[in-house]
Structure 1
């Protein structure tokens, strides 16, 4: 005991007692709460940590305190909500695509008021049947065999077989497809010679562009189709057609109305067995991946074009 009284620990203890006693006297005389403030300064961070730990513990323990049946019911409810949200998302995507299609149909109708387009969706592709697919429209929708099939970008193909509620489309990449077409080329006209320029005229200082249209027939073969190309054949030997020129339907034959875009010329080559030329053409529509199409069930001159193609007059067909 004697050693403790004379030891360092006892002296420290006495110092703390005097300090605390002094603080108490000062607090009592001034009405201040320095001791309380000091204790609060130390205790507040600890209280915050304690509160966070407690709250996390409660959250972590909550599933444990709930019954198995409650968790199963909640899981089922969440799954049902997810299914409903997925269904709404699918419907939203369908409505968005339908609205986009309708805008395209309206634009098509405005530009070609004689067209009667029927929107359709691709519903099947048989890997064993090349360059053909099935759409969800048939005779009940006014679709008939040989009706042209297009998108807003250009020609897709034609209806090769039709049923009540669905039809088969033979695409432009099929060797069975033949389309009367035109290729439009911009030529540079040569300016008139100075001696040929009439008196009083100023003469031309430069060449003016001129357009030339050459007719041909669009078809293809397996080799070209595998490369995503079609062939515009039977071009004249002096054709100015070149890469970048646009190929469109001519309207002859009755299957396609005139002016539909087909594709762009990639290159022009000589035929192997005669003096004519042909152009390799890249179609504007990727028919192997197209999802939505339009079937033109009516267009101006459709019957007349068919009559002319088969050498039958309108009077003869009316009498049949």
Structure 2
């Protein structure tokens, strides 16, 4: 019993000391409370900053991950867009090829008694639309002229461009409708009255127009009329569209003397032409 007494006493004292410390810590103004408050002021901001740092790093890595996913998505969309653009371009090329084939078929149907030679424009001799035009088709392709013989040239819409001026081995030169040396017999579409002349005119070249003259008295011609070849010369088949009347020129008595004509062919956008030859007109 003597040995257990000191141990029990020690346990009691330690327990009382712990209870006293706990009570002192909870009381405001005590030394223990002030010490706890002091260390709390020091370590609380550190703990708070550490927690904020962890939160910031977490948000950063989350943003990096989201940005990587976004870049991958954008890359996939760009690839899809490139594939779509390629498909659109291929479809456009197919559509253009179909349109050209359809136009060529239409030309063949319209000129059943002619052989049609397609030719790409290489260059214009001096630049403007009314100078000679060089095309990629010559004697090797059966395009030949001799003496007064010439060949008509039209576009894919059967609008008159001009006539063959001269030929070489692999190319030819076209004298266009606007050139001052060009002339063709014409009449108003849908009428069968006397024909008149449509020709190039130096004064109208800068306006992109040609002139219709030698119009007999009594022939009704008005603005908006479509002029076509009459077929009288034997060079140009009847019915090829020349252009549209845009202005009437009269004399003092009001009689029609001439009229200005806007060619139906678009010389500025022209890339291909079609040369009409006779079926046996090949070398």
| Short-chain TM bin | 0.5 to 0.7
Pair 1:168-2:164 in alignment: no
Name which of structure 1's ranges 240-249 and 221-230 shifts more when overlaid on structure 2: 221-230
Aligned to 1:122: 121
Partner SS for 2:107: helix
Which deviations, in whole Å up to 9, do the C-alpha atoms of 1:278-302 show, x marking residues without a partner? 22111101224411111111279x9
Q: CA deviation at 1:12?
A: 8.6
In the alignment, which of 58, 82, 95 is matched to residue 47 of structure 1? Answer: 58
How do 1:254-269 residues align onto structure 2 when only pairs under 5 Å count?
254-269=234-249
Which deviations, in whole Å up to 9, do the C-alpha atoms of 1:203-245 show, x marking residues without a partner? xxxxxxxx56341011122111211111111111222111011
Unaligned runs of 5+ in 1: 17-39, 58-88, 186-210, 303-320
Aligned to 2:154: 150
Q: CA deviation at 1:169?
A: 0.7
Q: Distance in 1 between matches of 2:101 and 2:31?
A: 99
Aligned to 2:112: 113
Instruction: Sort the Cα spacing of 1:162 and 1:217 in 2 relative to 1 into closer, same or farther, 3 A.
Output: same
The structure whose Rg is larger is: 2
Which deviations, in whole Å up to 9, do the C-alpha atoms of 1:119-177 show, x marking residues without a partner? 11111113268521110011111212321110115000011010111100110000111
Aligned to 1:82: none
Partner SS for 2:204: helix
Pair 1:226-2:206 in alignment: yes
Q: Distance in 2 between matches of 1:93 and 1:54?
A: 41
Partner SS for 2:203: helix
Partner SS for 1:286: coil
Which deviations, in whole Å up to 9, do the C-alpha atoms of 1:242-298 show, x marking residues without a partner? 1011100011222211110000111222369xx772221111012244111111112
Pair 1:253-2:233 in alignment: yes
Aligned to 1:134: 134
Contact persistence 2:126–2:132 (CA under 8 A): no
Matched residue pairs, number? Answer: 220
Q: Distance in 1 between matches of 2:258 and 2:170?
A: 39
Q: Distance in 1 between matches of 2:181 and 2:34?
A: 114
How do 1:86-101 residues align onto structure 2 when only pairs under 5 Å count?
97-101=96-100
TM-score by length of 1: 0.58
Unaligned runs of 5+ in 2: 1-28, 44-50, 69-87
Aligned to 2:188: 183
Contact persistence 1:184–1:213 (CA under 8 A): no
> Root-mean-square deviation (CA), in Å?
4.0
Partner SS for 2:170: coil
TM-score by length of 2: 0.64
Q: CA deviation at 1:108?
A: 1.3
Poorly superposed stretches of 4+, deviation over 6 Å: 54-57, 89-95
Partner SS for 2:195: strand
Pair 1:237-2:237 in alignment: no
Aligned to 2:17: none
Instruction: Sort the Cα spacing of 1:142 and 1:95 in 2 relative to 1 into closer, same or farther, 3 A.
Output: farther
Partner SS for 2:178: coil
